[in-house]
Amino acid sequence: MEIIVLDLEWNQSNRDQKKNRDPEIPIFEIIEIGAVKLNENREITDCFSQLICPQIYHTMHRITADIINLEMDELKNGRNFPEVMEEFLKWCGKDYVFATWGPLDLLELQRNMNYYRMESLGKGPLKFYDVQKLFSLEVIKDKTRKTLEFAIDYFQIEKKVPFHRAFSDAYYTAKVLEKMEWERVSALVSYDTFHLPRNKKEEIKVIFPGYAKYISRGFEEKKEVMEDREVASTKCYLCRKNVKKKMRWYTPNGKNYYSVAYCEEHGYIKYKVRVKKSEEEKYYAVKTSKFTTIEKVEKLRELRARDKEIKKNKKKMLSKEE
């Protein structure tokens, strides 16, 4: 399988996007696609670079112009997005996985494809490598996302071309990926959820080193998410046994839900469910399961007790005001 390291540049309107915006029109219009192709040894074997003639926004956003050093007149010589995209996908081949610096490029790519009614990149969530995330977690051991230039400086990679153009950023992302310990990071894939699993069979269940992830299908109502048996279940992801809850599901904000269970064979497991809303206006769950310590369980219980007390006091204050 080959790796397609992808980077995009996009433009947007200078007007307020929140006022009278047609939801069918993407906020960001792709104006450049850059990519490099890596073989199984992460060696660059080919490259792709194309400008795209804008069809939506015909004036360059002032911030975009400063960042990417690209004039609107240059884009007039480009081809339209569907034509370039079809050529790009043909160039990618049949057996490949995307790699990007951060999660936004694939999201915006699919939004633009959807606008032009193009066939989707695949069924359900799209597997890819988030190189920015891998660099933060596996190299500098920090959850803070760093800039691409920070990573280039960290590895002392030669800066051959300016940053903030699609091909150059794809090239630099590939060079960062090349420096990583592939045996460690190759299993740490991410999933883009522009398209959700369509049914239970297509739901994502994957075990990573140290934790497990589950991505549910979509639900029409938010309340249905935590009512679903699979979402609310507490299983040990190693032995696949149902294990007894030590702390019931609770939420401090209505978006993140927490629970704790105990497996007699493997120990305490902390569960976190994030409830999100998809592009198709459906609610879904991203659930992570991770082994933890009794000390961390006690801290979570303290947080739950504090949240309950805060909510209780708020209710008392409201009842007095009424």
Could you please report the per-residue DSSP string of 217-274?
Answer: --BSSTHHHHHSHHHH--B-TTT--B-EEEEEEE-SSSSEEEEEEEETTTEEEEEEEE
pLDDT score recorded for residue 251: 92
Domains of the chain, CATH where assigned: 2-185 (3.30.420.10), 198-312 (no CATH)
Q: What is the pTM of this model?
A: 0.90
Give the rounded percent of residues in the chain with a pLDDT score beyond 90.
76
Whether the Cβ atoms of residue 102 and residue 132 lie closer than 8 Å to each other: yes
pLDDT score recorded for residue 44: 95
pLDDT score recorded for residue 63: 80
pLDDT score recorded for residue 321: 64
* CB count in 10 Å sphere of residue 91: 16
Ordered DSSP codes for 262-308: EETTTEEEEEEEEEEE-TTS-EEEEEEEEE--HHHHHHHHHHHHHHH
Q: How confident is the model at residue 17 (pLDDT cuts 50, 70, 90)?
A: low
* CB count in 10 Å sphere of residue 251: 14
pLDDT score recorded for residue 203: 97
Question: How do residues 254-292 score in pLDDT, each as one tens digit?
Answer: 889 999 999 999 999 999 999 999 999 999 999 999 999
**Whether pLDDT at 18 is above 60:** no
**Whether pLDDT at 212 is above 90:** yes
Question: How do residues 43-77 score in pLDDT, each as one tens digit?
Answer: 999 999 999 999 999 888 878 877 887 888 889 88
pLDDT score recorded for residue 50: 96
The radius of gyration of the chain from alpha carbons, rounded to an integer in Å, stands at: 23
CA distance 270 to 261: 7
Question: What size, in residues, is the chain?
Answer: 322
